[in-house]
């Protein structure tokens, strides 16, 4: 009986595998075309000061809406682009688009941009980023680059050199998704970071799980001692915002403040949520 079922399963599996492979090839081909035809866009999500709800910057997030495949998550196509060697082309286009859009924002706002681990293994990354900023005319002091712990560890010497070169030019470095993955507190001892982004996993449980609250408190205390700025990621409601502010977290980001939006909607968001408030604060 099990043999019969086994045979059946073999047929089913090979069909599934064939379908899966076909989809993977389609996805790769579509991604290649999307990069060549400049179809991947960049959206922006606000980062605010929790003390006064004022916007301090925006994180650029890649968006791909394919005619055939529909919406494809960057969590899917960024790793695929890395694997297939497209990440440089993709990232250069996205940084150029993001920096061009950010030229229309108030000068005191920063642009945060995600770097992938493959880019931290490529010694050409720092000069390529600075060249793009130069061409666009975007001040490196207004750029922050978000990287993850795994990215720094995978090719430590090259990564450290790239980060040092970028910081020397005024670019600031954020440690993204802090507290997840292959976390190593020792990384913070290298003093290569300016900012830590507390992962959404802790933020979303901060009012329901004592352990998460203690972890966030510990991260905040550590960042204060190490003179690192802190952003809480994935704030979705008022209660989370209030709790994080009361714990002394300086900055926040999440759907509660704004979802990622295209460059036009971002300018509208600034008009509705920034200029008037910032002006009031200045004249007060
Ligand atoms: P990330 O850098 O940690 O970005 C935060 C992710 O959380 C984004 O997902 C954002 O849309 C989402 N998010 C923000 N606020 C909330 C919230 O309140 N609730 C929930 N549930 N989610 C929230 P997204 O845009 O799908 O990006 C996923 C990941 O893909 C990013 O994680 C980043 O690692 C990567 N990524 C996105 N754009 C780029 C890019 O241009 N280059 C590189 N290398 N990676 C990128
Ligand atoms: Mg990020
Ligand atoms: Mg993150
Ligand atoms: Mg992430």
Question: How far, in Å, CA of 150 to CA of 182, rounded?
Answer: 6
Interatomic CA distance for residues 192 and 158, integer angstroms: 13
Q: Residue 140 corresponds to which tokens in the numbers above? A: 């490196």
Contact, 97 vs 59, CB < 8 A? no
Helix axis angle, 2-36 to 87-102, nearest 10°: 50
In whole angstroms, what is the distance from residue 148 CA to residue 186 CA? 14
Residue whose CA is closest, atom 19 of ligand 1?
234
Residue 6 has pLDDT above 80, yes or no: no
pLDDT at 199: 95
For the cut 80, the answer to whether the pLDDT of residue 81 exceeds it is yes
pLDDT of residue 3: 47
pLDDT tier for residue 7 given thresholds of 50, 70 and 90: low
Instruction: Say yes or no to pLDDT of 15 above 70.
Output: yes
Please name the residue whose Cα sits nearest to atom 36 of ligand 1: 74
DSSP string, the chain: -HHHHHHHHHHHHHHHHHHHHHHHHHHHHHHHHHHHTT--EEEEEEEEETTT--EEEEEEEEEEEETTTEEE-HHHHHHHHHHHT-HHHHHHHHHHHHHHHHTTS-TT-EEEEE--GGGGG-TTHHHHHHHHHHHHT--GGGEEEEE-HHHHHHTHHHHHHHHHHHHHTT-EEEEEEETSSS--GGGGGG---SEEEE-HHHHTTTTT-HHHHHHHHHHHHHHHHTT-EEEE----SHHHHHHHHHTT--EEESTTT---B-HHHHHHHHHHHTHHHHHHHHH-
pLDDT band at 1 (very low <50, low <70, confident <90, very high): very low
177 CA → ligand 4 middle, Å: 6
* Region 63-73 average pLDDT: 95
Retrieve residue 77's tokens: 């196509």
Res 2 pLDDT > 80 = no
Residue nearest to atom 41 of ligand 1 (CA): 62
Q: Please provide the average confidence, as pLDDT, over all residues in the chain.
A: 91
Instruction: Find, among 280, 275, 269, 279, the residue nearest to 46 by Cα.
Output: 269
Quote the ligand 2 centre to 279 CA distance (angstroms).
29
Instruction: Pick the residue whose CA is nearest to atom 7 on ligand 1.
Output: 234
Ligand having the closest approach to the CA of 241: 1
Spacing, Cα 6 to ligand 4 middle (Å): 39
Residue range 145-203, pLDDT digits in tens: 999 888 777 778 899 999 999 999 999 999 999 988 666 677 777 778 999 999 999 99
CA-based nearest residue to 132, from 107, 157, 102: 102
pLDDT at 9 over 70: no
The Cα angle at residue 41 between residues 172 and 163, in degrees rounded to 5:
20
Place of tokens 């509208």: 268
Q: What percent of the chain has pLDDT over 70?
A: 92
The more confidently predicted of residues 23 and 5 is: 23
């Amino acid at each position: 009986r099990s043999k019969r079922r086994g045979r059946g399963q073999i047929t089913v599996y090979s069909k599934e595998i064939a379908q899966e492979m076909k989809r993977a090839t389609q996805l790769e081909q579509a991604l290649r075309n999307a990069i060549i035809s400049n179809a991947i866009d960049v959206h922006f999500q606000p980062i605010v000061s929790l003390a006064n709800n004022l916007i301090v910057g925006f994180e650029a997030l890649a968006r791909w809406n394919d005619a055939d495949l529909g919406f494809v998550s960057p969590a899917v196509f960024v790793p695929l682009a890395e694997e297939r060697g497209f990440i440089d082309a993709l990232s250069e286009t996205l940084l150029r688009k993001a920096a061009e859009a950010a030229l229309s924002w108030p000068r005191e706002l920063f642009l945060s941009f995600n770097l992938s681990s493959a880019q931290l293994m490529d010694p050409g990354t720092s000069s390529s980023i600075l060249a793009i900023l130069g061409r666009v005319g975007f001040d490196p002091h207004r750029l922050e680059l978000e990287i993850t712990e795994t990215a720094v560890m995978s090719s430590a010497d090259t990564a450290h050199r790239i980060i040092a070169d970028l910081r020397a030019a005024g670019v600031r470095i954020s440690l993204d998704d802090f507290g997840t993955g292959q976390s190593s507190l020792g990384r913070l001892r290298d003093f290569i970071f300016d900012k830590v982004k507390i992962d959404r996993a802790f933020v979303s449980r901060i009012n329901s799980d004592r352990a998460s609250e203690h972890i966030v408190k510990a991260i905040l205390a550590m960042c204060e001692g190490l003179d690192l700025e802190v952003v809480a990621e994935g704030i979705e409601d008022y209660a989370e915002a209030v709790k994080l502010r009361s714990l002394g977290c300086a900055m926040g980001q999440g759907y509660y403040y704004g979802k990622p939006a295209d460059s036009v909607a971002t300018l509208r968001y600034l008009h509705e949520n920034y200029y008037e408030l910032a002006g009031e604060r200045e004249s007060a």
